Structure formats: structure tokens, C-alpha cells
Chain A
Amino acid sequence: MNKTVNHKAWFLVLPVLVLVAFSAVIPLMTVVNYSVQDTFGNNQFFWAGLEWFDEMLHSDRMWNALGRQLMFSGIILAIEVPLGIFVALNMPKSGFWASFCLVLMSLPLLIPWNVVGTIWQVFGRVDIGLLGRTLESLGIDYNYTQSTLAAWITIVVMDVWHWTSLVALLAYAGLKSIPDAYYQAAKIDQASRWKVFRYIELPKMAGVLMIAILLRFMDSFMIYTEPFVVTGGGPGNATTLLSIDLVKMALGQFDLGPAAAFSIMYFLVILLISWVFYTVMTNLDKKGM
């Protein structure tokens, strides 16, 4: 669409600008402020320069949390993306059953995150949960409050349960935009199922899938509530992901300086991914026109 240049449009954007500046810029400046100062309490602050950043960059605690975080995001992407595509390929194309599947699949997406945590906390318990009880009766030692492996499996399966539908719904939307003519042409060429997927469906889904992957990476990168409710970061620190660690540091121990430095580095990573996301989006928009 041809847009006209009109600087008065700023007035239409102004309310958003004021509101978001109030809720984003002011708090962020507080964080920046804390990150370069130290305090002895009583609201007395003095300049600390980049000390906190230096400390955080050399702290095992942050690197370990980052490592766990990357592992978590990596695992869930490796499971959710193929599974989501697979589910999308098997969804009914139209009619009542398509709507039926859409509605049921969307259900986990709309459950409050702490309730997602509660559902899996209960579901996995060996005394009252269906999953825990079943595994136990099969003779599998499964206790997510004590075993690191079980805790990890629980939060990964929980995330797969929670978000695979999102990937599937996006992939499905991409699939539906493929004109029938493409499939007919493939039929005439006697292309195999795999070739249809590889050369028709996958390229056509690529843009939407990119969105799905970035969204999932981003959201899993700042996941807090669900693993917190299920494991509380434990056993030990085994499932303490970045956000959980940050909240512990900032609101639990009130280590303002380190927490602020941590926050800023965290935010810079997010900024970088956001930029990739934005570039992908704008490229898609251009292609769409």
C-alpha cells in the first residue's frame, strides 16, 4: 500500500508513546541507574561504574542460568517445531472437524500460566497425579521434586503441551494459503509425499514458521511462571532459568546492583532477537504486497 508522508500522524501515535514511555522507559532508567551504583541502605547511593557488570560477567551463577536457559529453549524448539508441523499436516483442512481441532488445540494457549504450572504439578505428582502414578506403577522412578532429570522432563513436556499448538496453528495457517493448483501440479508430476512437503509445503510455510520459531524462542527465553510453580527452580538450582534467577536476586535478596546489571544484559539479548524478528516481519510484509 502506498503510504503518504504526513508528520501530523505523530499526534495519533502520541498517546501510545506517552503510555508506553511511562511503563517502559521510566522503569528501565531505574534499572540503568541501579546498575551503576552501590548502596549501603538508607537510600544512600554512590557511583560504582561498571563494577556490577564486571561482577555479573564473571559470576558462575549467571552463566549457569544462561546455560540452562539456552538448553531449555533449544530443547523445546527442537521438539515443538517438528511436532507442530507434523500436527498441522495432519489437521483436517476444512469443515466442522477443522474448527473442532482448532478450538481444542487453542485451549492450552489460553490457560493462565500459573494454572498451567498447577495442572502439571498435580498431574506429575506420584501420590495424586495421573502421570506420576502411572509411571510409578510401571516401575519408573519419577519424582520431579528430587530428581533433576524428572524435573527437566516435566518442565519440557509442560512447555510442549502448552505451546506446540501455537506452532501448529501458525503452520496450519501457512498451509492453508497454498493454492490447490500447486498440489495438482505435484500430482501430475507424480511427486512423492515427501517431495510435496519438501518443495511445496515447507517453502510456503517458511515465513510463518520463522515467526513461530522466533516467538517461541523469545517467550521461552523469558519463561517464569510455569517452571516456578512446578519446581520453584529446584531441585537445587537445576531448573532455575534466567527469569527465575533474576526475580530471586531482585525481589528475594534485594541485590539491586547485580540484578540491574543482569537485567540490562538480559534486555540487550532480547533487543537483538527482537531486531531479527522485526526484520523477518518487514520482509514478509514486503513479500505479501
Chain B
Amino acid sequence: MTDTTLAPATRRSRSLPRINTSVIVMTLYLLFLLLPIYWLLNMSLKTNTEILGSFTLWPRNLTFANYATILTDPSWYSGYINSLIYVVMNTVISLTVALPAAYAFSRYHFMGDKHLFFWLLTNRMAPPAVFALPFFQLYSSIGLFDTHIAVALAHCLFNVPLAVWILEGFMRGVPKEIDETAYIDGYSFGGFFVKIFMPLISSGIGVAAFFCFMFSWVELLLSRTLTTVDAKPIAATMTRTVSASGLDWGVLAAAGVLTIIPGALVIWFVRNYIAKGFALGRV
């Protein structure tokens, strides 16, 4: 009797501390991650007088005026529209060219395939700082400077290799027998690819699209170098406001919060693939 009551108690006392430390570690870590984001959110909901005048842990005079400024002032909201336009263009271009290439890499040996695959990787790793000036000159000389397509094409530098690597990682998981069966059944390559193969790797396509979108969305150096007015991204709008006046903290914070939203919206759907995507489809 005493044994049966004691046994669970001792077991619990032995296992409880470990669970507890894990919970504490995770709580502390998440707190560390969320605190700066909370501070930004907090600031975006305050008036400038409250931000500068008093130190408050949560907004005392809750205001959405900062968001209203952004959503009504064209110089702010056009930044979001510009960013979205070139990001979507880039994602579509990257996926369109990467899909057949990834298929080729995952299914066939061909002359120079390994070298080509490696060369693609080097472009994913290339520092944008090296390319900033040449891109500026290249796109100026062909008359594409300050257009959305210029930024979209420039971001292909790292997004196409990324998409190829991620998609190849997913495609190698699809057994080759499926291809062969489809060809025996009389499918053409195009028909097979669109009707059978693409649905099979739909999660891979989703992940690749997400990462193209993300990396194009977060990049600032190239998009800032290649634009002045017409295609100026939100990121550049934000840095210019800081350097010019450095005063309107509330609006700046609100703009920052709004740039986090696209990622935060889809994060739940890709949560199990984030490691895989960052590791170029290799985890």
C-alpha cells in the first residue's frame, strides 16, 4: 500500500524538475524573442508625446493614428504596394524557372550537372553588397532603373538558386516509379509534370514560394539601390524617414509592425518546414 502511493510520488519528483527546467528555459527564451517585438507594437499604439514624454509599459492613450497615417498617406502605403508587386513578381519568376530545373537535377545526370548545382549555391551565398553597384549600372543602362521588374530580377540572384535547391530536396523524395508509370500510361512530359508531379510536391512548392517571398520581402540593400521613387519599397521608406527627421517614432513603429504581418500570417502553415527551407531542402 505504501509502496503504491510512494512510487508515483517519487517518480514525479524525479521527472518533475526536468519538465520544469524545460518550461522555464523555453519561457525565458520566448520572452527574450517577444519582448523587443512587443516594444515595437507598444510604441506603434502610442502617440509621439507619450513615447517621448513618459515611459509606459503599455499604451495609456491607445491610439491607432499611426496606422491611419500609414494607410492614408500615399508615400507610406505605396511602399507596401511596391514591395508586394516586386515580391510577387519575383516569386512567380523564380518558381517558374526553378520547377523544371529542380526536376532535371533530381532525376537526371547530365554534363556539368554538379558544377551547375554548385554554381547556383554560390549565388545564394553571394553578398548583395558585391552586386549593388553593378546592378545599379546594369539596370540603368537598359532603362529598367526604378521599376518593379528590376528589383524582381535582381532578387532572382539568390531566390532562383534557393528555389531550385529547396524543390530538388522535395522532389528527390518522390519515387521515380511514378514518373515511369505515367509515361507508360501515355502522359506527355508536360501533362505528367503539371497533372501528376506538381500535386505530389505541392507542399514543396508552397515552401519554396514562401521562402522566395520571404527573402525578397526582407531584403533591403538591392531594392533600395535599384529604386528611387516609383518602385521604392517600404523598407527604404522606413530608413529614409529615420535619417531625415528621426522624430516620428510612432509611425515608424507602426510601419515596422505592418511589415511583420505577411510573415506572421502564413507562419502557422509552414511551421514544420521552416528548418527545411532555411537548410535549402536538406533536413
- Where the two chains meet, the residues of A that have a C-beta atom closer than 8 Å to any C-beta of B are 1-10, 12-13, 15-17, 19-20, 22-24, 26-28, 30-31, 86-87, 90-92, 99, 101-115, 118-123, 127-131, 133, 161, 165-166, 169-170, 172-174, 208, 211-212, 215, 218, 221-222, 224-225, 229, 242-244, 246-247, 250-251, 256, 259, 263, 266-267, 270-271, 273-275, 277-278, 281, 284-285
Contacts of A224 in B (CB 8 A): 127-129, 220-221
* Cross-chain contact A15 with B283 (CB below 8 angstroms): no
Question: Shortest distance in angstroms between B200's beta carbon and chain A's nearest beta carbon?
Answer: 15
Q: Is the CB of B282 within 8 A of A285?
A: yes
Return the contact of A105 from the options B33, B101, B108, B260 (Cβ within 8 A). Answer: B33
A107 and B267 within 8 A (CB): yes
Q: Is the CB of A110 within 8 A of B263?
A: yes
* A139 CB, nearest partner CB in chain B, Å: 16
How far is it, in angstroms, between the C-alpha of A165 and the C-alpha of B57 when the chains are bound?
A: 26
Instruction: Name 15 extra pairs, CB < 8 A, besides A7-B111, A30-B138.
Output: A1-B172, A12-B100, A23-B154, A24-B126, A87-B26, A87-B29, A105-B29, A105-B30, A110-B267, A122-B39, A169-B274, A172-B275, A247-B129, A247-B132, A273-B125
Task: Tell me if B186 is interfacial: C-beta within 8 Å of chain A.
Answer: no
Q: Is the CB of B116 within 8 A of A13?
A: yes
Contact B30 A114 (CB under 8 A): no
Which residues of chain A are near B275, meaning CB under 8 Å? 166, 169-170, 172-173
Number of residues on chain B facing chain A (CB within 8 A) = 96
Instruction: Please give the distance in Å from A140's CB to the nearest CB on chain B.
Output: 17
Decide if B131 is an interface residue (CB 8 Å cutoff): yes
Q: Is B103 an interface residue (CB 8 A)?
A: yes
Q: How far is the CB of A131 from chain B (nearest CB, A)?
A: 8
- Contact across chains for B39 and A119 when beta carbons are under 8 A apart: yes
The closest CB in chain A to the CB of B236 belongs to: A114
Contact A130–B97 (Cβ < 8 Å):
no
A5 to B93, CA, bound (A): 28
Residues in B whose Cβ lies below 8 Å from that of A274: 118, 121-122, 125
CB neighbours (8 Å) of B107 from chain A are: 3-4, 6, 9
Pairwise interchain contact A17-B111, C-beta atoms closer than 8 A: no
* Interface presence of B204 (CB below 8 A): no
Q: For the complex, is B12 an interface residue (Cβ under 8 Å from A)?
A: no
Which of chain B's residues have a CB closer than 8 A to the CB of A121? Answer: 242
**Interface pair B220/A112, CB less than 8 Å apart:** yes
Q: Which residue of B lies closest to A18 (CB)?
A: B97
Q: Is the CB of B126 within 8 A of A267?
A: yes
Q: Are A122 and B249 in contact (CB under 8 A)?
A: yes
Check B109 against A161 for contact (C-beta < 8 Å): no
In the complex, the answer to whether A16 meets B279 with C-beta atoms within 8 Å is no
- Residue in contact with A20 in the complex, picked from B39, B129, B137, B157, CB distance below 8 Å: B157
Smallest CB-CB A-B distances: 3 pairs: A110-B263, A27-B134, A222-B127
Q: In this assembly, does B218 line the interface, its C-beta being within 8 Å of a C-beta of chain A?
A: yes
Which of A26, A118, A246, A277 contacts B242 (CB under 8 A)?
A118
- Chain B min CB distance to A42 (Å): 16
Within the complex, the shortest CB–CB distance from B240 to chain A, in Å, comes to 11
Q: Is B98 a contact partner of A16 (Cβ separation < 8 A)?
A: yes
Q: Chain B residues near A119 (CB, 8 Å)?
A: 36-37, 39-40, 256
Bits for B178-217, please: 1 = Cβ < 8 Å to A, else 0: 0000000000000000000000000000000000001001
Distance in angstroms between the alpha carbons of A246 and B129 in the assembled complex: 7
- B51–A128 CB distance below 8 A: yes
Which listed residue, B104, B132, B272, touches A12 by the CB 8 Å rule? B104
In the bound complex, how far is the Cα of B110 from the Cα of A110, in angstroms?
36
CB distance A118 to B26 under 8 Å? Answer: no
Taking each of A4, A26, A101, A106, which has the highest tally of chain B beta carbons within 10 Å of its own beta carbon?
Answer: A106
Instruction: Let me know if B253 is at the binding interface, CB within 8 A.
Output: yes
Q: How far is the CA of A28 from the CA of B117 in the complex (A)?
A: 18
**Given A161-B36, A266-B130, residue A12 in contact with residue B101 (CB < 8 A):** yes
With a CB–CB cut-off of 8 A, which chain B residues contact A106? Answer: 267, 271, 274
| B239:A114 contact, CB within 8 angstroms | yes
Query: Is the Cβ of A22 less than 8 Å from the Cβ of B153?
Result: yes
Q: A12 contacts B103, CB within 8 Å?
A: yes
Q: Are A16 and B164 CB-contacts (below 8 A) given A110-B214, A243-B127?
A: yes
